Structure 1
Amino acid sequence: ALRAHAGPRPGERLLVRGAAGGVGSVAVQLGKALGARVTALAGPGRLDFVRELGADEAYSYTECGPADLGPFDVIMDTAGTEHRAWRRRLAPGGRMVAISFDLDRKAASLGHLLASTVHGRARVRFFSGDPRHCLLTELAGLVDGGALRPVVDSVRPLAEIAAAHRALEAGGVRGKHVIRVAADETA
Protein backbone atom coordinates (compact mmCIF):
# COMPACT_ATOMS: atom_id res chain seq x y z
CA ALA A 1 0.00 0.00 0.00
CA LEU A 2 2.72 2.46 0.97
CA ARG A 3 4.90 1.92 -2.09
CA ALA A 4 2.16 1.52 -4.67
CA HIS A 5 -0.31 4.15 -3.47
CA ALA A 6 1.71 6.87 -1.74
CA GLY A 7 5.21 6.41 -3.15
CA PRO A 8 7.36 8.25 -0.60
CA ARG A 9 10.41 9.75 -2.28
CA PRO A 10 13.88 10.38 -0.86
CA GLY A 11 13.81 13.18 1.70
CA GLU A 12 10.03 13.24 2.09
CA ARG A 13 8.51 13.19 5.57
CA LEU A 14 6.59 9.97 6.27
CA LEU A 15 4.39 9.40 9.31
CA VAL A 16 3.57 5.78 10.17
CA ARG A 17 0.66 5.42 12.59
CA GLY A 18 0.62 2.06 14.35
CA ALA A 19 4.33 1.72 13.60
CA ALA A 20 5.00 -1.23 15.92
CA GLY A 21 2.32 -3.51 14.47
CA GLY A 22 2.59 -6.04 11.67
CA VAL A 23 1.97 -3.61 8.80
CA GLY A 24 3.45 -0.56 10.51
CA SER A 25 6.76 -2.29 11.25
CA VAL A 26 7.14 -3.06 7.54
CA ALA A 27 6.10 0.49 6.58
CA VAL A 28 8.80 2.01 8.80
CA GLN A 29 11.48 -0.15 7.20
CA LEU A 30 10.15 0.36 3.68
CA GLY A 31 10.00 4.12 4.16
CA LYS A 32 13.65 4.15 5.21
CA ALA A 33 14.62 1.92 2.26
CA LEU A 34 12.92 4.43 -0.07
CA GLY A 35 14.87 7.31 1.51
CA ALA A 36 12.06 8.95 3.48
CA ARG A 37 12.49 10.66 6.84
CA VAL A 38 10.30 8.42 9.01
CA THR A 39 8.29 9.51 12.05
CA ALA A 40 6.74 6.61 13.94
CA LEU A 41 3.68 6.80 16.17
CA ALA A 42 3.36 3.80 18.49
CA GLY A 43 2.50 2.76 22.02
CA PRO A 44 4.65 4.12 24.85
CA GLY A 45 6.48 0.82 25.38
CA ARG A 46 7.30 0.45 21.68
CA LEU A 47 9.33 3.58 20.92
CA ASP A 48 12.77 1.97 21.17
CA PHE A 49 11.49 -0.89 19.01
CA VAL A 50 10.38 1.39 16.15
CA ARG A 51 13.66 3.31 16.36
CA GLU A 52 15.48 -0.02 15.97
CA LEU A 53 13.42 -0.59 12.82
CA GLY A 54 14.80 2.68 11.44
CA ALA A 55 12.41 5.44 12.52
CA ASP A 56 14.14 8.82 12.68
CA GLU A 57 11.67 10.02 15.31
CA ALA A 58 9.28 8.07 17.53
CA TYR A 59 6.35 9.38 19.55
CA SER A 60 3.77 7.76 21.80
CA TYR A 61 0.19 8.03 20.57
CA THR A 62 -0.80 8.55 24.21
CA GLU A 63 1.21 11.78 24.35
CA CYS A 64 1.00 13.15 20.79
CA GLY A 65 -2.04 13.89 18.69
CA PRO A 66 -2.50 15.34 15.22
CA ALA A 67 -1.99 18.93 16.42
CA ASP A 68 1.44 18.02 17.82
CA LEU A 69 3.05 16.64 14.67
CA GLY A 70 3.54 17.42 11.00
CA PRO A 71 3.19 18.44 8.35
CA PHE A 72 3.97 15.24 6.45
CA ASP A 73 4.35 14.45 2.76
CA VAL A 74 3.01 10.94 3.31
CA ILE A 75 0.92 9.41 6.10
CA MET A 76 0.56 5.63 6.37
CA ASP A 77 -2.37 5.03 8.72
CA THR A 78 -2.71 1.54 10.16
CA ALA A 79 -4.56 2.74 13.26
CA GLY A 80 -7.81 3.76 11.57
CA THR A 81 -8.82 6.58 13.90
CA GLU A 82 -9.10 10.34 13.45
CA HIS A 83 -8.68 10.20 9.65
CA ARG A 84 -9.87 13.76 9.12
CA ALA A 85 -7.55 15.23 11.78
CA TRP A 86 -4.54 13.36 10.44
CA ARG A 87 -5.37 14.26 6.83
CA ARG A 88 -5.07 17.90 7.86
CA ARG A 89 -1.42 17.20 8.79
CA LEU A 90 -0.57 16.58 5.13
CA ALA A 91 1.73 19.07 3.47
CA PRO A 92 0.56 20.57 0.16
CA GLY A 93 0.67 17.73 -2.37
CA GLY A 94 0.83 15.17 0.45
CA ARG A 95 -0.67 11.69 0.26
CA MET A 96 -2.33 9.47 2.85
CA VAL A 97 -2.97 5.74 2.75
CA ALA A 98 -5.34 4.22 5.32
CA ILE A 99 -5.70 0.47 5.70
CA SER A 100 -8.20 0.35 8.57
CA PHE A 101 -11.32 1.99 9.90
CA ASP A 102 -12.35 3.34 13.27
CA LEU A 103 -14.66 0.55 14.41
CA ASP A 104 -16.11 2.81 17.11
CA ARG A 105 -17.11 5.34 14.43
CA LYS A 106 -18.06 3.16 11.46
CA ALA A 107 -20.37 5.70 9.80
CA ALA A 108 -17.79 8.50 9.94
CA SER A 109 -15.05 6.22 8.61
CA LEU A 110 -17.27 4.96 5.79
CA GLY A 111 -18.28 8.54 4.99
CA HIS A 112 -14.64 9.58 4.78
CA LEU A 113 -13.94 6.66 2.42
CA LEU A 114 -16.90 7.51 0.20
CA ALA A 115 -16.05 11.22 0.09
CA SER A 116 -12.46 10.41 -0.84
CA THR A 117 -13.62 8.08 -3.61
CA VAL A 118 -16.56 10.10 -4.99
CA HIS A 119 -14.73 13.40 -5.02
CA GLY A 120 -11.60 11.83 -6.49
CA ARG A 121 -9.28 13.03 -3.75
CA ALA A 122 -5.98 11.50 -4.74
CA ARG A 123 -4.55 12.69 -1.42
CA VAL A 124 -6.33 10.03 0.64
CA ARG A 125 -6.55 6.38 -0.39
CA PHE A 126 -8.11 3.48 1.45
CA PHE A 127 -6.40 0.23 0.63
CA SER A 128 -6.97 -3.49 1.03
CA GLY A 129 -4.50 -5.88 -0.60
CA ASP A 130 -2.42 -5.72 -3.77
CA PRO A 131 -0.86 -9.03 -4.81
CA ARG A 132 0.97 -7.67 -7.88
CA HIS A 133 4.00 -9.81 -8.64
CA CYS A 134 6.31 -6.83 -9.24
CA LEU A 135 5.62 -5.41 -5.76
CA LEU A 136 6.14 -8.77 -4.07
CA THR A 137 9.39 -9.23 -6.01
CA GLU A 138 10.57 -5.79 -4.87
CA LEU A 139 9.78 -6.63 -1.23
CA ALA A 140 11.61 -9.96 -1.52
CA GLY A 141 14.65 -8.11 -2.86
CA LEU A 142 14.60 -5.75 0.13
CA VAL A 143 14.43 -8.73 2.49
CA ASP A 144 17.30 -10.47 0.67
CA GLY A 145 19.35 -7.25 0.79
CA GLY A 146 18.76 -6.77 4.52
CA ALA A 147 16.81 -3.50 4.19
CA LEU A 148 13.60 -5.16 5.36
CA ARG A 149 13.27 -7.82 8.04
CA PRO A 150 10.09 -9.62 8.95
CA VAL A 151 9.13 -8.97 12.56
CA VAL A 152 7.30 -11.79 14.33
CA ASP A 153 5.58 -11.09 17.65
CA SER A 154 4.54 -14.69 18.31
CA VAL A 155 4.06 -18.09 16.69
CA ARG A 156 1.05 -20.09 17.85
CA PRO A 157 -0.61 -23.35 16.80
CA LEU A 158 -3.96 -23.17 15.02
CA ALA A 159 -5.69 -24.27 18.22
CA GLU A 160 -4.65 -20.95 19.82
CA ILE A 161 -5.97 -18.68 17.08
CA ALA A 162 -8.58 -17.17 19.42
CA ALA A 163 -5.85 -16.24 21.91
CA ALA A 164 -3.83 -14.64 19.10
CA HIS A 165 -6.86 -12.60 18.08
CA ARG A 166 -7.44 -11.45 21.66
CA ALA A 167 -3.78 -10.37 21.84
CA LEU A 168 -4.24 -8.30 18.67
CA GLU A 169 -7.39 -6.69 20.05
CA ALA A 170 -5.59 -5.83 23.30
CA GLY A 171 -2.90 -3.92 21.39
CA GLY A 172 0.78 -3.75 22.17
CA VAL A 173 1.77 -5.83 19.15
CA ARG A 174 5.34 -5.90 17.86
CA GLY A 175 5.16 -7.24 14.33
CA LYS A 176 3.01 -10.13 13.11
CA HIS A 177 1.31 -12.95 14.94
CA VAL A 178 1.94 -16.16 13.00
CA ILE A 179 -0.47 -19.09 13.14
CA ARG A 180 1.21 -22.44 12.50
CA VAL A 181 -1.03 -24.83 10.61
CA ALA A 182 0.22 -28.40 10.88
CA ALA A 183 -1.06 -31.08 8.50
CA ASP A 184 -2.69 -33.01 11.34
CA GLU A 185 -4.56 -29.86 12.53
CA THR A 186 -6.42 -29.34 9.24
CA ALA A 187 -8.19 -32.71 9.11
Structure 2
Amino acid sequence: MGIEHSSKDAGRESTTVAPAAESMRAVVQHRYGPASALEPAEVAIPTPGRGEVLVRVGAASVHPGDHFVMTGRPYVLRLVFGLRRPRRMIPGTDLAGVVTAVGTDVTTLRPGDEVFGWTGTGALAEYAVVPADHLVPVPDGLSLAEDAAVPTSGMTALQALRDIAKVSPGDRVLITGASGGVGSFAVQIAKSLGAEVTGVCSTGNAELVRSLGADHVVDYTTTDFTRGDRRYDVILDNVESHPLADVRRVLTPTGTMIPNSGHGGRWIGPLGRILRARMLSAFTRQRLKPFTSLGKRDDLLVLADLLAAGRLAPAIERTYPLDDAAEALRHVASGHARGKVVVVI
Protein backbone atom coordinates (compact mmCIF):
# COMPACT_ATOMS: atom_id res chain seq x y z
CA MET A 1 0.00 0.00 0.00
CA GLY A 2 1.13 3.56 -0.68
CA ILE A 3 0.54 6.80 1.16
CA GLU A 4 -2.76 8.59 1.63
CA HIS A 5 -3.53 11.23 -0.97
CA SER A 6 -6.40 12.98 -2.70
CA SER A 7 -7.03 12.27 -6.39
CA LYS A 8 -9.26 13.92 -8.97
CA ASP A 9 -10.18 12.19 -12.23
CA ALA A 10 -12.74 13.76 -14.57
CA GLY A 11 -14.63 15.24 -11.63
CA ARG A 12 -14.23 12.16 -9.42
CA GLU A 13 -12.56 12.85 -6.08
CA SER A 14 -11.44 10.45 -3.39
CA THR A 15 -9.32 10.10 -0.30
CA THR A 16 -7.33 6.96 -0.72
CA VAL A 17 -4.63 4.61 0.41
CA ALA A 18 -3.08 3.93 -2.98
CA PRO A 19 -2.84 0.33 -4.18
CA ALA A 20 0.70 -0.89 -4.76
CA ALA A 21 0.01 -1.23 -8.50
CA GLU A 22 -2.14 0.61 -11.02
CA SER A 23 -3.64 -2.55 -12.52
CA MET A 24 -5.51 -5.46 -11.00
CA ARG A 25 -6.45 -9.02 -11.79
CA ALA A 26 -10.09 -9.48 -12.79
CA VAL A 27 -12.41 -11.83 -14.64
CA VAL A 28 -13.74 -10.11 -17.76
CA GLN A 29 -16.46 -10.78 -20.32
CA HIS A 30 -16.67 -9.13 -23.75
CA ARG A 31 -19.63 -11.10 -25.12
CA TYR A 32 -22.68 -12.97 -23.89
CA GLY A 33 -22.23 -16.71 -23.67
CA PRO A 34 -21.41 -19.66 -21.42
CA ALA A 35 -18.74 -19.61 -18.75
CA SER A 36 -16.08 -20.05 -21.44
CA ALA A 37 -16.80 -16.41 -22.37
CA LEU A 38 -15.06 -15.37 -19.13
CA GLU A 39 -11.31 -14.92 -19.00
CA PRO A 40 -8.81 -13.64 -16.44
CA ALA A 41 -7.15 -10.35 -17.41
CA GLU A 42 -5.21 -7.37 -16.11
CA VAL A 43 -7.34 -4.21 -16.07
CA ALA A 44 -7.04 -0.74 -14.59
CA ILE A 45 -7.98 -0.27 -10.95
CA PRO A 46 -11.16 1.87 -10.89
CA THR A 47 -11.46 5.20 -9.08
CA PRO A 48 -14.37 5.81 -6.69
CA GLY A 49 -16.69 8.75 -7.26
CA ARG A 50 -18.01 11.14 -4.62
CA GLY A 51 -20.47 8.74 -2.98
CA GLU A 52 -18.44 5.60 -3.61
CA VAL A 53 -15.61 3.65 -2.05
CA LEU A 54 -12.91 1.42 -3.46
CA VAL A 55 -12.88 -2.02 -1.88
CA ARG A 56 -10.00 -4.47 -2.01
CA VAL A 57 -12.09 -7.59 -2.55
CA GLY A 58 -11.37 -10.54 -0.29
CA ALA A 59 -14.18 -12.75 -1.55
CA ALA A 60 -17.16 -12.60 -3.93
CA SER A 61 -20.08 -15.00 -4.13
CA VAL A 62 -21.94 -15.99 -7.29
CA HIS A 63 -25.60 -16.89 -7.75
CA PRO A 64 -28.03 -17.77 -10.58
CA GLY A 65 -28.63 -14.10 -11.39
CA ASP A 66 -24.95 -13.76 -12.30
CA HIS A 67 -25.34 -16.68 -14.69
CA PHE A 68 -28.37 -15.11 -16.37
CA VAL A 69 -26.46 -11.87 -16.91
CA MET A 70 -23.41 -13.77 -18.20
CA THR A 71 -25.41 -15.64 -20.84
CA GLY A 72 -27.77 -12.77 -21.66
CA ARG A 73 -30.70 -15.16 -21.40
CA PRO A 74 -33.58 -14.71 -21.15
CA TYR A 75 -33.11 -12.06 -23.82
CA VAL A 76 -35.36 -9.60 -22.00
CA LEU A 77 -32.45 -9.03 -19.59
CA ARG A 78 -30.45 -7.43 -22.39
CA LEU A 79 -32.73 -4.42 -22.28
CA VAL A 80 -31.07 -3.66 -18.94
CA PHE A 81 -27.58 -5.14 -19.24
CA GLY A 82 -26.74 -4.42 -22.89
CA LEU A 83 -28.36 -5.43 -26.17
CA ARG A 84 -25.39 -6.82 -28.11
CA ARG A 85 -22.78 -7.27 -25.39
CA PRO A 86 -22.62 -6.81 -21.60
CA ARG A 87 -22.33 -3.18 -20.52
CA ARG A 88 -20.49 -4.36 -17.44
CA MET A 89 -17.17 -5.98 -18.36
CA ILE A 90 -16.58 -7.58 -14.94
CA PRO A 91 -19.29 -9.94 -13.63
CA GLY A 92 -20.29 -10.55 -10.04
CA THR A 93 -22.38 -8.64 -7.52
CA ASP A 94 -21.81 -9.74 -3.91
CA LEU A 95 -18.52 -9.07 -2.14
CA ALA A 96 -16.65 -8.60 1.10
CA GLY A 97 -13.33 -6.87 1.63
CA VAL A 98 -11.45 -3.87 2.95
CA VAL A 99 -12.07 -0.23 2.05
CA THR A 100 -8.95 1.33 0.50
CA ALA A 101 -10.34 4.65 -0.77
CA VAL A 102 -13.43 6.78 -0.16
CA GLY A 103 -15.08 9.48 -2.22
CA THR A 104 -15.25 13.00 -0.83
CA ASP A 105 -18.96 12.74 0.06
CA VAL A 106 -18.52 9.51 2.05
CA THR A 107 -18.63 10.01 5.81
CA THR A 108 -19.72 6.57 7.05
CA LEU A 109 -16.66 4.58 5.93
CA ARG A 110 -12.92 5.08 5.90
CA PRO A 111 -9.86 3.22 4.58
CA GLY A 112 -9.21 0.07 6.58
CA ASP A 113 -12.88 -0.74 7.33
CA GLU A 114 -13.92 -4.34 6.64
CA VAL A 115 -17.27 -4.37 4.83
CA PHE A 116 -19.65 -6.53 2.84
CA GLY A 117 -22.42 -5.70 0.40
CA TRP A 118 -23.19 -5.53 -3.31
CA THR A 119 -22.02 -3.60 -6.36
CA GLY A 120 -23.21 -2.97 -9.90
CA THR A 121 -19.71 -2.60 -11.34
CA GLY A 122 -18.41 -6.16 -10.97
CA ALA A 123 -17.17 -8.06 -7.91
CA LEU A 124 -14.95 -10.71 -9.53
CA ALA A 125 -11.80 -8.62 -9.32
CA GLU A 126 -9.09 -7.64 -6.86
CA TYR A 127 -10.72 -4.21 -6.46
CA ALA A 128 -14.28 -2.96 -6.94
CA VAL A 129 -15.99 0.42 -6.76
CA VAL A 130 -19.10 0.29 -4.58
CA PRO A 131 -21.65 2.94 -3.53
CA ALA A 132 -21.07 3.57 0.17
CA ASP A 133 -24.73 2.91 0.99
CA HIS A 134 -24.42 -0.62 -0.45
CA LEU A 135 -22.00 -1.67 2.29
CA VAL A 136 -22.15 -2.42 6.02
CA PRO A 137 -19.45 -3.44 8.52
CA VAL A 138 -18.71 -7.14 8.69
CA PRO A 139 -19.93 -8.94 11.83
CA ASP A 140 -17.31 -10.21 14.26
CA GLY A 141 -16.24 -13.82 13.96
CA LEU A 142 -16.99 -14.42 10.28
CA SER A 143 -14.56 -14.84 7.41
CA LEU A 144 -14.77 -12.61 4.34
CA ALA A 145 -15.92 -15.68 2.36
CA GLU A 146 -18.87 -16.09 4.74
CA ASP A 147 -19.70 -12.39 4.57
CA ALA A 148 -19.60 -12.38 0.76
CA ALA A 149 -22.09 -15.26 0.65
CA VAL A 150 -24.83 -13.22 2.29
CA PRO A 151 -26.05 -10.10 0.41
CA THR A 152 -28.27 -11.06 -2.56
CA SER A 153 -29.43 -14.48 -1.36
CA GLY A 154 -29.91 -13.32 2.21
CA MET A 155 -31.86 -10.20 1.25
CA THR A 156 -34.03 -12.22 -1.14
CA ALA A 157 -34.97 -14.68 1.60
CA LEU A 158 -35.56 -11.92 4.15
CA GLN A 159 -37.75 -9.79 1.89
CA ALA A 160 -39.76 -12.79 0.65
CA LEU A 161 -40.60 -14.13 4.09
CA ARG A 162 -40.78 -10.99 6.23
CA ASP A 163 -42.14 -8.42 3.76
CA ILE A 164 -44.10 -10.36 1.13
CA ALA A 165 -45.39 -13.37 3.09
CA LYS A 166 -45.37 -11.57 6.47
CA VAL A 167 -44.43 -14.77 8.29
CA SER A 168 -45.46 -14.75 11.95
CA PRO A 169 -44.90 -17.15 14.86
CA GLY A 170 -46.65 -20.49 14.37
CA ASP A 171 -46.99 -20.22 10.59
CA ARG A 172 -46.29 -23.36 8.63
CA VAL A 173 -43.69 -22.49 5.99
CA LEU A 174 -42.54 -24.77 3.19
CA ILE A 175 -39.34 -23.97 1.30
CA THR A 176 -38.38 -25.78 -1.89
CA GLY A 177 -34.73 -25.79 -2.84
CA ALA A 178 -34.03 -25.56 0.88
CA SER A 179 -30.37 -26.52 0.46
CA GLY A 180 -29.68 -23.89 -2.20
CA GLY A 181 -28.40 -20.34 -1.88
CA VAL A 182 -31.69 -18.58 -1.12
CA GLY A 183 -33.24 -21.68 0.44
CA SER A 184 -30.50 -22.18 3.02
CA PHE A 185 -30.98 -18.61 4.25
CA ALA A 186 -34.77 -18.88 4.05
CA VAL A 187 -34.89 -21.90 6.38
CA GLN A 188 -32.96 -19.98 9.04
CA ILE A 189 -34.84 -16.70 8.61
CA ALA A 190 -38.23 -18.45 8.76
CA LYS A 191 -37.14 -20.08 12.02
CA SER A 192 -35.99 -16.72 13.39
CA LEU A 193 -39.50 -15.40 12.61
CA GLY A 194 -41.02 -18.18 14.70
CA ALA A 195 -42.31 -20.42 11.90
CA GLU A 196 -42.59 -24.19 11.72
CA VAL A 197 -40.37 -24.93 8.72
CA THR A 198 -40.45 -27.75 6.19
CA GLY A 199 -37.57 -27.94 3.74
CA VAL A 200 -37.67 -29.79 0.42
CA CYS A 201 -34.34 -31.11 -0.86
CA SER A 202 -32.55 -34.22 -2.12
CA THR A 203 -31.45 -37.15 0.02
CA GLY A 204 -27.85 -35.98 0.14
CA ASN A 205 -28.80 -32.55 1.46
CA ALA A 206 -31.31 -33.59 4.11
CA GLU A 207 -28.84 -33.40 7.00
CA LEU A 208 -27.70 -29.93 5.93
CA VAL A 209 -31.29 -28.66 5.89
CA ARG A 210 -31.94 -30.17 9.32
CA SER A 211 -28.78 -28.54 10.64
CA LEU A 212 -30.08 -25.18 9.42
CA GLY A 213 -33.09 -25.59 11.70
CA ALA A 214 -35.82 -27.16 9.56
CA ASP A 215 -38.47 -28.93 11.65
CA HIS A 216 -39.33 -31.30 8.81
CA VAL A 217 -37.47 -32.39 5.67
CA VAL A 218 -39.11 -33.76 2.53
CA ASP A 219 -36.86 -35.78 0.24
CA TYR A 220 -38.12 -34.96 -3.25
CA THR A 221 -36.50 -38.09 -4.69
CA THR A 222 -38.95 -40.26 -2.74
CA THR A 223 -41.85 -37.96 -1.81
CA ASP A 224 -43.96 -35.47 -3.77
CA PHE A 225 -44.87 -32.74 -1.30
CA THR A 226 -47.83 -31.65 -3.46
CA ARG A 227 -49.51 -35.03 -2.88
CA GLY A 228 -49.34 -34.92 0.91
CA ASP A 229 -52.03 -34.03 3.44
CA ARG A 230 -50.09 -31.22 5.10
CA ARG A 231 -51.14 -27.64 4.33
CA TYR A 232 -48.88 -24.59 4.53
CA ASP A 233 -49.49 -20.93 5.30
CA VAL A 234 -46.50 -19.90 3.21
CA ILE A 235 -44.68 -21.63 0.35
CA LEU A 236 -41.43 -20.18 -0.98
CA ASP A 237 -40.88 -22.02 -4.25
CA ASN A 238 -37.23 -21.69 -5.29
CA VAL A 239 -37.28 -24.56 -7.79
CA GLU A 240 -40.38 -24.57 -10.03
CA SER A 241 -40.48 -28.36 -10.17
CA HIS A 242 -44.32 -28.44 -10.08
CA PRO A 243 -47.07 -26.53 -11.87
CA LEU A 244 -48.66 -23.68 -9.93
CA ALA A 245 -51.92 -25.63 -9.60
CA ASP A 246 -50.15 -28.53 -7.87
CA VAL A 247 -48.33 -26.27 -5.42
CA ARG A 248 -51.54 -24.39 -4.59
CA ARG A 249 -53.14 -27.68 -3.60
CA VAL A 250 -51.07 -27.76 -0.39
CA LEU A 251 -51.49 -24.06 0.37
CA THR A 252 -54.07 -23.05 2.97
CA PRO A 253 -57.16 -21.23 1.59
CA THR A 254 -55.71 -17.83 2.51
CA GLY A 255 -52.04 -18.79 2.31
CA THR A 256 -49.24 -17.08 0.39
CA MET A 257 -47.13 -18.66 -2.33
CA ILE A 258 -44.01 -16.92 -3.63
CA PRO A 259 -42.71 -18.32 -6.93
CA ASN A 260 -39.07 -17.29 -6.63
CA SER A 261 -37.89 -19.18 -9.70
CA GLY A 262 -38.76 -20.00 -13.25
CA HIS A 263 -36.85 -20.86 -16.37
CA GLY A 264 -39.32 -20.45 -19.21
CA GLY A 265 -38.15 -19.75 -22.73
CA ARG A 266 -35.10 -17.96 -24.02
CA TRP A 267 -37.01 -14.72 -24.63
CA ILE A 268 -38.92 -13.84 -21.45
CA GLY A 269 -37.74 -16.56 -19.07
CA PRO A 270 -39.82 -16.71 -15.87
CA LEU A 271 -42.09 -13.80 -16.84
CA GLY A 272 -44.74 -16.21 -18.15
CA ARG A 273 -44.97 -18.00 -14.80
CA ILE A 274 -45.01 -14.66 -12.97
CA LEU A 275 -47.88 -13.36 -15.11
CA ARG A 276 -49.88 -16.58 -14.61
CA ALA A 277 -49.40 -16.30 -10.85
CA ARG A 278 -50.61 -12.68 -10.82
CA MET A 279 -53.66 -13.54 -12.91
CA LEU A 280 -54.58 -16.50 -10.73
CA SER A 281 -54.22 -14.39 -7.61
CA ALA A 282 -57.08 -12.17 -8.79
CA PHE A 283 -59.50 -15.11 -8.70
CA THR A 284 -58.61 -16.80 -5.43
CA ARG A 285 -58.25 -15.96 -1.75
CA GLN A 286 -54.79 -17.47 -1.90
CA ARG A 287 -52.05 -14.89 -2.43
CA LEU A 288 -49.68 -15.72 -5.28
CA LYS A 289 -46.95 -13.12 -4.92
CA PRO A 290 -43.98 -13.18 -7.29
CA PHE A 291 -41.54 -10.42 -6.43
CA THR A 292 -38.17 -8.95 -7.29
CA SER A 293 -35.77 -8.51 -4.41
CA LEU A 294 -34.06 -5.15 -4.05
CA GLY A 295 -30.75 -4.30 -2.48
CA LYS A 296 -31.44 -2.38 0.73
CA ARG A 297 -28.79 -1.35 3.24
CA ASP A 298 -31.27 -1.56 6.13
CA ASP A 299 -31.98 -5.19 5.26
CA LEU A 300 -28.27 -5.94 5.04
CA LEU A 301 -27.94 -4.50 8.55
CA VAL A 302 -30.71 -6.84 9.74
CA LEU A 303 -28.82 -9.78 8.27
CA ALA A 304 -25.60 -8.58 9.89
CA ASP A 305 -27.36 -8.53 13.27
CA LEU A 306 -28.64 -12.07 12.72
CA LEU A 307 -25.14 -13.21 11.78
CA ALA A 308 -23.62 -11.54 14.84
CA ALA A 309 -26.23 -13.15 17.10
CA GLY A 310 -25.54 -16.62 15.67
CA ARG A 311 -29.09 -16.92 14.32
CA LEU A 312 -27.91 -17.01 10.72
CA ALA A 313 -24.92 -18.81 9.23
CA PRO A 314 -23.96 -19.02 5.54
CA ALA A 315 -23.76 -22.55 4.17
CA ILE A 316 -20.80 -22.56 1.77
CA GLU A 317 -20.34 -25.60 -0.44
CA ARG A 318 -17.24 -24.65 -2.39
CA THR A 319 -14.70 -21.89 -2.80
CA TYR A 320 -12.73 -21.16 -5.97
CA PRO A 321 -9.72 -18.94 -6.75
CA LEU A 322 -10.36 -15.90 -8.95
CA ASP A 323 -8.91 -17.50 -12.09
CA ASP A 324 -11.43 -20.35 -11.71
CA ALA A 325 -14.48 -18.06 -11.45
CA ALA A 326 -15.86 -19.56 -14.68
CA GLU A 327 -15.98 -22.97 -12.98
CA ALA A 328 -17.84 -21.42 -10.05
CA LEU A 329 -20.49 -20.04 -12.41
CA ARG A 330 -20.75 -23.38 -14.23
CA HIS A 331 -21.44 -25.08 -10.93
CA VAL A 332 -24.12 -22.56 -9.97
CA ALA A 333 -25.70 -22.96 -13.43
CA SER A 334 -25.99 -26.73 -12.89
CA GLY A 335 -28.78 -26.11 -10.37
CA HIS A 336 -27.18 -28.47 -7.86
CA ALA A 337 -25.14 -26.08 -5.75
CA ARG A 338 -25.38 -26.91 -2.05
CA GLY A 339 -25.60 -23.60 -0.26
CA LYS A 340 -23.40 -20.82 -1.59
CA VAL A 341 -20.48 -20.81 -4.00
CA VAL A 342 -17.73 -18.28 -3.25
CA VAL A 343 -14.71 -16.99 -5.18
CA VAL A 344 -11.83 -16.17 -2.81
CA ILE A 345 -9.53 -13.44 -4.09
Q: TM-score range by the shorter chain?
A: 0.7 to 0.9
Using the aligned pairs only, state the percent identity. 37
Q: Tell me which of the two structures has the higher relative contact order, counting C-alpha pairs closer than 8 angstroms and 6 or more residues apart.
A: 1
1:68-83 equivalence runs, <5 A: 68=228, 70-83=230-243
Equivalents in 2 of 1:100, 1:44: separation in Å?
21
- Of 168, 173, 185, the match for 2:337: 173
Partner secondary structure for residue 39 of structure 1: strand
> Partner of 2:166 in structure 1?
7
CA drift of 1:118 comes to: 4.6
> Partner of 2:322 in structure 1?
158
Equivalents in 1 of 2:250, 2:268: separation in Å?
22
| CA RMSD of superposed structures (Å) | 2.4
CA drift of 1:132 comes to: 2.5
Question: Partner letter of residue 207 of structure 2?
Answer: D
- Of 313, 316, 327, the match for 1:149: 313
Q: Which has the higher helix share?
A: 1
Q: 1:46 to 1:98 in 2, by over 3 A?
A: same
Q: Give the TM-score normalised by the residue count of structure 2.
A: 0.48
Deviations 1:45-103 (A, max 9, x none): 01111001000011111112211253100001111232411122110211111221044
Equivalents in 2 of 1:106, 1:67: separation in Å?
32
Matched residue pairs, number? 181
Q: Give the TM-score normalised by the residue count of structure 1.
A: 0.85
> Partner of 1:58 in structure 2?
217
Partner secondary structure for residue 189 of structure 2: helix
Q: Which runs of 4+ in 1 moved over 6 A?
A: 104-108
Q: 1:163 to 1:108 in 2, by over 3 A?
A: closer
Question: Partner letter of residue 113 of structure 1?
Answer: I
Partner secondary structure for residue 294 of structure 2: coil
Mapped contact 2:260–2:291 kept (Cα < 8 A)? yes
Mapped contact 2:280–2:288 kept (Cα < 8 A)? no
Equivalents in 1 of 2:163, 2:321: separation in Å?
33
Equivalents in 1 of 2:174, 2:281: separation in Å?
23
- Of 274, 291, 302, the match for 1:127: 291
Equivalents in 2 of 1:71, 1:119: separation in Å?
19
Mapped contact 1:87–1:96 kept (Cα < 8 A)? yes
Q: Which has the higher strand share?
A: 2
Mapped contact 1:81–1:101 kept (Cα < 8 A)? no
Equivalents in 1 of 2:268, 2:297: separation in Å?
34
- Of 100, 107, 110, the match for 2:261: 100
Mapped contact 1:116–1:124 kept (Cα < 8 A)? yes
CA drift of 1:124 comes to: 1.4
Q: Name whichever of 120-129 and 101-110 sits farther off.
A: 101-110
CA drift of 1:115 comes to: 3.0
Q: Structure 1 unaligned runs (5+)? A: 183-187
Partner secondary structure for residue 75 of structure 1: strand
1:37 partnered with 2:200 = no
Partner secondary structure for residue 289 of structure 2: strand
Partner secondary structure for residue 148 of structure 1: coil
